[in-house]
């Protein structure tokens, strides 16, 4: 259901004019990200990870290096990239948001 705009009478013109629309609440990037990922498919039974489809454009040399590393470590490329991304320390803003929860 959408909110209806209330018309206010304009004494000069003798007719009503639309009320100013309400401003939307400003949301933080963390709130927007949480809403965007709320419906993602869980990657496991715990629900703490979700599946993300991602297309990367890397140089052939980078892909060969990553693929060779994945083979040496007995992993597939997807698992290696996920591990590398998970190893990046969270930013100060992310840590602050986690403390608020």
In a domain, 27, yes or no: no
Using alpha carbons only, what angle is made at residue 53 by residues 55 and 57, rounded to the nearest 5 degrees? 10
In a domain, 63, yes or no: yes
CA atoms within 13 A on the CB side of 85: 9
Q: How confident is the model at residue 19 (pLDDT cuts 50, 70, 90)?
A: confident
How are beta strands 7-10 and 15-18 bridged, if at all? antiparallel
In a domain, 15, yes or no: no
The pLDDT score that the predictor gives to residue 60 is 97
How many structural domains does the chain have? 1
pLDDT at 9 over 80: no
From the list 78, 95, 73, the residue with the least C-alpha distance to 43 is 78
Residue 43: CB partners within 8 Å, gap ≥ 6? Answer: 49, 50, 51
pTM: 0.57
In a domain, 96, yes or no: no
In a domain, 70, yes or no: yes
pLDDT, tens only, 47-95:
788 888 889 999 999 999 999 999 999 999 999 999 999 999 887 766 6
Domain membership of residue 69 as a residue range: 57-89
In a domain, 77, yes or no: yes
In a domain, 9, yes or no: no
**Average pLDDT of the chain, as a whole number:** 82
In a domain, 83, yes or no: yes
């Amino acid at each position: 259901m959408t909110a209806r705009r209330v018309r206010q009478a304009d004494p000069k013109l003798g007719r009503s004019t639309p009320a100013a629309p309400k401003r939307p609440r400003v949301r933080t990037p963390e709130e927007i990200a949480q809403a965007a990922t709320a419906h993602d498919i869980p990657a496991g039974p715990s629900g703490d990870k979700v599946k993300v489809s991602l297309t990367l454009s890397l140089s052939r040399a980078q892909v060969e290096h990553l693929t060779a590393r994945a083979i040496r470590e007995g992993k597939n490329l997807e698992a290696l990239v996920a591990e590398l991304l998970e190893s990046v320390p969270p930013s100060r803003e992310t840590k602050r948001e986690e403390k608020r929860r």
